[in-house]
């Protein structure tokens, strides 16, 4: 739980105080804290350099059991992400120290280059997200999250941002939810199992939930989605979550790729690239988790989450390269490669959403291409859209949340690469090696008509091999904070 603490640290006892410190200029206003930092700085082992940490027990001047001084480096370089990372790292350290709670001393915003709200949000997000450990499959639970994290501020700040702790908690709970879904091994999240879990949580949160099963999907003509699932023993689902805002003029639809495991199908992936393919539903996890937090965040727009859920497997029933399928929209597609399955389930979900729900804006999020990871690495998602305003809004949200996005092109002349000799389109580009992320996005664009649309390829940032400052190894929950920042700035 996140809370403000406005008490006087010289009087009221604080068990663990985390103190961010810059090497070249003071960040804190109060005298006792300043004196403490100055004294620490006289020691050779702590200068406030980035990564410096020093723990003082029962220090003079402050009524604290321990003070953890944490270096931020030069003040000019300490942006919101530096504070987010510092909070995450220090809370993870406290978790390892088996502490039940900690208090972070919030710097005076005026002494940092960051605005007060941004600074508070960053510290709270880093602390909240860092305070998560996914040990559901471990018998021995070595770490437990802290029960409370306090933020030491003056009364004026606490009053002005009273709403902030619960808001940040709601959004971060979404990120954590998405991480945990991504981390689930594929043998525990077959489409029908995963759909049931989403539906249950969504109903409990007060969302409207619709689940289409295979009979309904076949009847309605989801030919592309059904083609992907036909090789799997598990059953495909389409989950639709709806949040109705009190007074809203706009409806935003979010569509998320939900391939619970991607073997590649008959165009089988080589083992190295198959091993982490339980992550191939990260787009759906981000969308579902965003919808789940909507009743608490209460956006000013109506929200729809659409989740096509399948498993891409190999069997005697699997689709073959060269097969031709009929999509929901009526266009036919030649299967050039069974490993380009994400775009197949997405086009049916997108066409259905546009036809039946007529959203003002549609954004899809997907771990769509390895090519996007080659282009941008783990740090950036690729954004594809012809809508400049929508793109700029997403890029801005990416900068604010540090869920970074980079715009990629949608060149019309590349559409040629998706031509098929026999069908309306081929799901694989003729240029097999080049521009894979772009041709995948162009393929999707054939199904969005004139709806305002953006596609976000998160194949890079959805999953990390090694833990970072505020995220354990595995699913990152990328997309939830990005969506919320975007939605909250939409009006």
Contacting positions for Zn ion (CB under 5 A): 259, 262, 280, 339, 341-342
Point out which span in 67-75, 126-134, 294-302, 368-376 binds ligand BES (CB under 6 A): 368-376
Binding mask 141-180 for ligand BES (x = CB under 6 A): ----------------------------------------
CA dihedral 366, 478, 407, 248 (to 10 degrees): 90
Residue 311: helix, strand or coil by DSSP?
strand
Q: Secondary structure of 332-398 in the HEC alphabet?
A: EEECCCCCCCHHHHHHHHHHHHHHHHCCCEEEEEECCCHHHHHHHCCCCEEEECCCHHHHHHHHHHH
Closest to ligand BES by CB, 337 or 488: 337
Shortest distance, position 436 Cβ to ligand BES, whole Å: 5
Angle at the Cα of 407 from the Cα atoms of 370 and 335, rounded to 5 degrees: 40
Applying CB under 6 A, the span of 118-126, 211-219, 363-371, 394-402 interacting with ligand BES comes to: 363-371
* Residue selected from 19, 227, 371, 405 as contacting ligand BES according to rule CB under 6 A: 371
Among 214, 280, 311, 334, binds ligand BES (CB under 6 A): 280
Residue number with CB closer to ligand BES (145 or 370): 370
- Per partner kind, with CB cut-offs from 5 to 8 A, the member of ligand BES, Zn ion, none near residue 190 is none
How far apart CA 120 and CA 104 sit, in angstroms, is 10
Which DSSP helix (H) or strand (E) runs through 308? strand 302-312
Instruction: State the helix-helix crossing angle for 480-488 and 388-401, rounded to 10 degrees.
Output: 120
Q: Which residues make Cβ contacts (< 8 Å) with residue 490, sequence separation at least 6?
A: 250, 252, 299, 300, 301, 393
Q: Is residue 436 a contact point for ligand BES (CB under 6 A)?
A: yes
For residue 277, count other CB atoms closer than 10 A to its CB.
19
Minimum distance, C-beta of residue 459 to ligand BES, in the bound complex (Å): 4
Binder to ligand BES among 367, 385, 397, 476 (CB under 6 A)? Answer: 367
Residue 242 to residues 79, 85, 456, Cα–Cα distance (Å): 36, 33, 21
State which residue, 302 or 476, has the beta carbon closest to Zn ion: 476
Complex with ligand BES: residue 367 or 385, whichever CB lies closer: 367
Part of the chain binding ligand BES (CB under 6 A), chosen from 33-41, 112-120, 315-323, 364-372: 364-372
Nearest to 255 by CA among 277, 235, 240: 240
Partner touching 436 among Zn ion, ligand BES, none, CB below 5 to 8 Å by kind: ligand BES
Which region holds residue 61: left if phi is over 0, alpha if psi is between -120 and 50, else beta? left
Interface with ligand BES (CB under 6 A), residue from 342, 472, 474, 475: 342
Which residues belong to the active site? 269, 343
From ligand BES, Zn ion, none, which one binds at residue 370 (CB under 5 to 8 Å depending on kind)?
ligand BES
Residue 288's φ and ψ, nearest 5 degrees, are -60, -45
Question: What is the rounded CA–CA span in Å between residue 114 and residue 106?
Answer: 12
User: How many residues in the shown chain lie near ligand BES by CB under 6 A?
Assistant: 16
Window 446-485: residues binding ligand BES (CB under 6 A): 459
Q: Are the C-beta atoms of 482 and 405 separated by less than 8 Å? A: yes
Cα(429)–Cα(368) distance, rounded to whole angstroms?
A: 14
Binding mask 301-340 for ligand BES (x = CB under 6 A): ------------------------------------x-xx
246 to 265, contacts with ligand BES by CB under 6 A?
Answer: 262
DSSP for 86-108 reads HHHHHHHHHHHTT-SEEEEEPPP
| Minimum gap (Å) between residue 319 Cβ and ligand BES | 13
- Using CA atoms, how far apart are residues 194 and 310, in angstroms rounded to an integer? 10
Nearer Cβ to ligand BES (133/314): 314
Using rule CB under 6 A, residue 428 touches ligand BES: yes
The one among 212, 225, 294, 373 contacting ligand BES by CB under 6 A: 373
- Of 301 and 346, which CB lies nearer to ligand BES in the complex structure? 346
Binding site for ligand BES (CB under 6 A): 262, 280, 337, 339-342, 367-371, 373, 428, 436, 459
């Amino acid at each position: 739980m996140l809370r403000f603490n406005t008490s006087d640290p010289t009087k009221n006892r604080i068990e663990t105080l985390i103190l961010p410190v810059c090497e070249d200029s003071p960040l804190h206003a109060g005298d006792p804290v300043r004196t403490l930092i100055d004294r620490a700085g006289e020691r050779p082992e702590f200068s406030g350099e980035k990564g410096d940490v020093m723990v003082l027990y029962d220090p003079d001047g402050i009524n604290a059991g321990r003070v953890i001084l944490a270096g931020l480096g030069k003040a000019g370089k300490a942006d919101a992400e530096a504070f987010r990372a510092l909070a995450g790292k220090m809370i993870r350290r406290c978790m390892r120290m088996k502490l039940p709670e900690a208090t972070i001393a919030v710097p005076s915003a005026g002494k940092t280059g960051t605005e007060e709200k941004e600074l508070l949000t960053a510290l709270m997000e880093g602390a909240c997200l860092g305070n998560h450990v996914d040990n559901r499959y471990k018998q021995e639970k070595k770490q437990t999250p802290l029960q409370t994290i306090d933020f030491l501020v003056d009364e004026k700040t606490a009053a002005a941002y009273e709403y902030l702790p619960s808001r940040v908690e709601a959004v971060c709970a979404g990120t954590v939810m998405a991480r945990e879904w991504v981390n689930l091994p594929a043998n525990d999240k077959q489409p029908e199992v995963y759909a049931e879990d989403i539906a249950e949580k969504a109903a409990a949160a007060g969302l409207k939930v619709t689940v289409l099963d295979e009979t309904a999907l076949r009847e309605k003509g989801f030919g592309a989605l059904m083609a992907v699932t036909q090789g799997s023993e598990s059953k495909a689902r389409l989950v639709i979550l709806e949040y109705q805002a009190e007074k809203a003029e706009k409806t935003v639809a979010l569509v998320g790729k939900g391939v619970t495991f991607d073997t590649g199908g008959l165009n089988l992936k080589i083992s190295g690239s198959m091993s982490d393919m339980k992550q191939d539903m990260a787009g759906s996890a981000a969308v579902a988790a965003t919808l789940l937090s909507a009743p608490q965040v209460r956006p000013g727009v109506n929200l729809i989450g659409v989740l096509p859920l399948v498993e891409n497997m190999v069997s005697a029933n699997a689709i073959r390269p060269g097969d031709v399928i009929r999509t929901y929209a009526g266009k036919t597609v030649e299967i050039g490669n069974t490993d380009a399955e994400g775009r197949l389930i997405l086009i049916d979900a997108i066409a259905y959403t546009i036809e039946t729900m007529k959203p003002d804006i549609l954004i899809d999020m997907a771990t769509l291409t390895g090519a996007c990871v080659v282009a941008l690495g783990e740090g950036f998602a690729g954004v594809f859209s012809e809508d400049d305003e929508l793109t700029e809004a997403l890029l801005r949200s990416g900068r604010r949340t540090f869920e970074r996005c980079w715009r990629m092109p949608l060149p019309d002349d590349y559409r040629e690469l998706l031509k098929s000799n026999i069908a309306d389109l081929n799901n694989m580009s003729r240029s097999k090696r080049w521009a894979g992320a772009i041709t995948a996005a162009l393929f999707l664009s054939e199904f969005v008509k004139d709806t305002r649309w953006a596609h976000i390829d998160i194949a890079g940032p959805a999953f990390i091999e090694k833990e970072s400052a505020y995220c354990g190894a595995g699913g990152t929950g990328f997309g939830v904070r990005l969506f919320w920042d975007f939605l909250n700035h939409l009006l």
